[in-house]
Every structure is written in C-alpha cells, then in structure tokens.
Chain A
C-alpha cells in the first residue's frame, strides 16, 4: 500500500451532512406533492404577482385620517399592553426563579408562563374578541398575556443567573425579603430588565399592528379591510407606515438603551 493512501485526507467528505441534505431534498419533493404546489400554479401566480404589484403603485395616502387613527390606536395598545405585561411579569418572574422561590411554586409558575407563551397572540386575540367583543380592549388583553409570558420567562432566567453572594450578604444583615430583593437582587438585574422591557415594547408595537386582522383594534383592521376591498394602493400606504413606525421605534429604543447603559 502506498504512503499516499494511508495519509489522512485533508478535507474528508462529510457523508452525514450530504445524507442530511439529500434527505431534506427528498422531503421537499414529497411535501410539494402533499401540499399540491405545482409549477403550473406557481407560474400563474408569478404572472398575478406582476399585476398585483402594478396595482399597488403608487401608494395612496389620501385617506391619511383613517391611517393615522389606526396607527395611534395600535400605539396605544402596544404601550398599555407592554406596561401591564411587564408589571405582571415582575412578580411572576420572581416566582419562577428557582434560586429564590420554593421549588413547587417555581415549577407551577413556569408551567403557567409557558402556557401563556405557547399560544400565538393572534389566536389569543380571537378568543378575547369572541369573549369581550371587538375593539382595542381585546388587543390589549391578548398582547398583555403574550408579553407577560415572554418577559416573565426572561426575568426568571436573569434572576437565576445572579450571584447569590450579594443576596446572602444582605440576608446576613437580618434584612427582610423585600430589602433582599431591593438591595441584593434588583441591582444585579435592573439593566437587563430594562433591556427586556424595551425589547417587548418593540415587539408589541409590531404585534399591535396585526391584532386588528381578527378585530382586536389598531391599524390591522384597516389593513385587512383594504385587502378585502382590493384597495392595494392603500394597502401599500399602510404597510409603508407600519414599517416606518417600527423603524422609528427601533431607533428610539436603541437610543434609550444606549442612554441607560
């Protein structure tokens, strides 16, 4: 046997990666068949897309009043639901932290928080719309549930990562539970809490522009109505406004984060 075949190859073929790629390709072909997506249908669709885009241009801002009203309502929903969600998440996060709360309580709270997160906010919004009627209240309730679950999980994880030395030091002075929280726990997590809260405000702003599709208030209702009436130029105007709003919000929250750091 020659020496060259014994020498290790510099770049051996990665057969498991190739097998994975091949498997995914087979799956894609199978799934296309299952979903009944055919080339004929797609090519018709691409033709439609051209007409669709043509009807979208130019954006129609003539109904600005309706647009602004909807955007403001979305903004209100986002602000209120973020505030409520964060307020509710504070005690929940503490109760779910395994290093501070008794284990059964932590496990139960974790289960509840996971439940709040597992249903998509639009589904929660539908349920609230059916239960408490159309309008901003349903949107606020749905987004509050979602933010509560999300922020409480992050809070709990942040609290579990703190150094217990400072907590023990405060406890050793004979401080009560409240004082331990304020002087031992809070200083270690405050900046991360603010970061999570800002992030949640951002994502609530995105989500609040959407809950209107199921009747829970905000610009989403206007958007859905415009789609149904085939007012595609107004649709584009709304979409552009939403993107602008999200972009501005991201800029502002980025600035705030830099300021508070």
Chain B
C-alpha cells in the first residue's frame, strides 16, 4: 500500500543539488558584479538627460553630408566586407578539409587545423584590425585582412562540420572507380555540401557588412573612419546621417541574403 503512494521526482537529490548550486553561483556572480562594478553615480543620474541632449543634437540629420564623403566610405566598406569574405574562403576551405576527420585521416593534422580555426575565431575582428593596422598601416588593406582572418575560423568550423556530416557512400563509390582524390572531393563531397557552403558564405558576408562598418574606428578604412571623424568633431547631425546609412545598408544586406538563401537552398 505504502509503496504505491511514493512521490515521484524528476531529478535525483544529487542532480537537484547541482542545479541549485549552479543557480546559486549565477546569483552570487551577479551580486558580486553589481557591487563591484565601477559606476559613477553622477553619470548614472543624469544619463537620461544626456541621452536626450545627444538625440536633440542629432536631429535633423545633415543629409547633404552623404555625398560624396559618406558615399565613398560606404563603397569602401562594402568592398572590405566582400573581399574579406572571399579571402577568408581561400584559407578556410583547405583548413576545413584538413579539420574534417572523414576527409583527412590524420588526427594530428585535424587537431592542428582546429587549433588554427579556434585562434582565428577567438580574436575579435577589431583586434585583428589593430594588428593589421600595425602591419600594413592604416587603410582598407588592414580592414580587408582583419575581416578575412576573423572569418576564417567561423567559415572553417561550419564547413568542417558540414563535411563531417556527409554520407560516405558517394565518396566510396568514386574511390572504387579509381578516381583521384581531387575528383572524389569535387564530385563526391562538393555536391553534398554545396548548399551549406553558399549558406555559410552568405551568412558570413552579412555579418562582415556589419563588422566592417566599425573597423574604421581603429583606422582600418571604411565608413567607420568618417563616423570617427564626425564624432571627434562633435558634428552630431553628420553622425546621424552616417548611422542612418549604416542602418539602411545592414537592412538591405539582410534582405538580399534572405532572398538569395531562399533561392539557393
């Protein structure tokens, strides 16, 4: 009788304990962060007032500033993003092939390729931009390389994952005919990952359009340079124009990518 009245619980006591421990740790971290973060109370109090002031200075946007200065910078940004994406693929495709365990059967090589991909991903594109500005000097070259080097890890990881998921059948069939390695990859692996490949390319291009807009802040060319100048001269109506431009470009890029993806996949 008593055995039937047992109370059922979803988790074991140990599981419940760890869950509570995790929640507790999260709360403790949050409390620690709030208590220790250096926030100047005066700044916090007049923040709303200052925000309103900034917005008033931005209105109305100086649309006359768009042509030619902002327009040229915008075109440069688009080139940096597109060329950077293209460049990334030149490095990312071989690395992805080396990182995919079913394509490259050597664990040591896989691990090395993965390490390179992780390094590329963990450094932010702005930091890459700082590094390349130190190497190539200020300008669009630094921006292009920054975008490329940040994208390699992202693209390479996704391509390697797509490669590892392909069906081995077509590859084996081609190998059985005596096809060389290149043909096996081109006719066995490529058709299976083509959709993923274009999807990744479009996705990264979209991200790169956003990211290349800020590279100019550290001198790596593009629309960020004119934005930085306008901010430094406190020309807030021009800043508003530039922000609007970035906003429009980002939205248009997203629409293009969504359309193309629907067509391709």
Contacts and interface: CB of A to CB of B under 8 A. Distances in A.
A77 B38 CA distance: 10
A140 B30 CA distance: 13
Given A130-B54, A137-B44, A31 B79 contact: yes
B127 A210 contact: yes
Interface of B: 15, 18-19, 22, 29-30, 32-34, 36-40, 43-44, 46-47, 50-51, 53-54, 75-76, 79-80, 82-83, 86, 119, 122-124, 126-127, 130-131, 134-137, 139-141, 144, 187, 210-211, 213-214, 217-218, 221, 227, 231, 243, 246-247, 250-251
Interface of A: 11, 24, 27-28, 31-32, 34-37, 41-42, 45-46, 48-49, 52, 72-73, 75-77, 79-80, 83, 114-115, 118-120, 122-123, 126-127, 130-133, 135-137, 140-141, 206-207, 209-210, 213-214, 217, 223-224, 227, 232, 239, 242-243, 246-247, 256, 259-260
A243 B122 contact: yes
20 contacts: A27-B86, A31-B79, A35-B141, A36-B139, A42-B136, A46-B135, A79-B33, A80-B37, A120-B210, A123-B214, A130-B54, A140-B37, A206-B124, A224-B130, A227-B134, A232-B134, A259-B18, A259-B19, A259-B22, A260-B19
Given A41-B141, A122-B217, A31 B47 contact: no
Contacts of B213: 120, 123
A223 B127 contact: yes
Most buried by B among A52, A73, A130, A140: A130
Contact of B247 (A31, A119, A136, A243): A119
Contacts of B33: 75-76, 79-80
A117 to B, nearest CB: 9
B135 A52 contact: yes
B82 A31 contact: yes
B30 A80 contact: yes
A45 B146 CA distance: 14
Contacts of A122: 126, 214, 217
B112 to A, nearest CB: 17
Contact of A72 (B30, B36, B43, B139): B36
Q: 6 closest pairs, A vs B, by CB?
A: A76-B33, A79-B33, A35-B140, A76-B37, A45-B136, A132-B47
A145 to B, nearest CB: 12
Most buried by B among A83, A118, A140, A239: A118
Given A37-B141, A48-B136, 11 more contacts: A35-B76, A41-B136, A45-B141, A83-B30, A120-B246, A131-B47, A133-B43, A135-B38, A213-B217, A239-B127, A260-B22
Most buried by B among A32, A123, A223, A242: A123
Contacts of A131: 47, 50-51, 53-54
Contacts of A140: 37, 39
A35 B79 contact: yes
A13 to B, nearest CB: 11
Contact of B251 (A73, A118, A239): A118
Interface residue SS majority, chain A: helix
A227 B130 contact: yes
A136 B124 contact: no
B39 A137 contact: yes
Given A80-B30, A137-B47, A119 B135 contact: no
A77 B123 contact: no
A73 B37 contact: yes
B40 A135 contact: yes
B135 A126 contact: no
Contacts of B44: 132, 137
Nearest to A44: B136
A37 B139 CA distance: 9
Most buried by A among B18, B43, B221: B43
Nearest to A115: B247
Nearest to A78: B33
Contacts of B50: 131-133
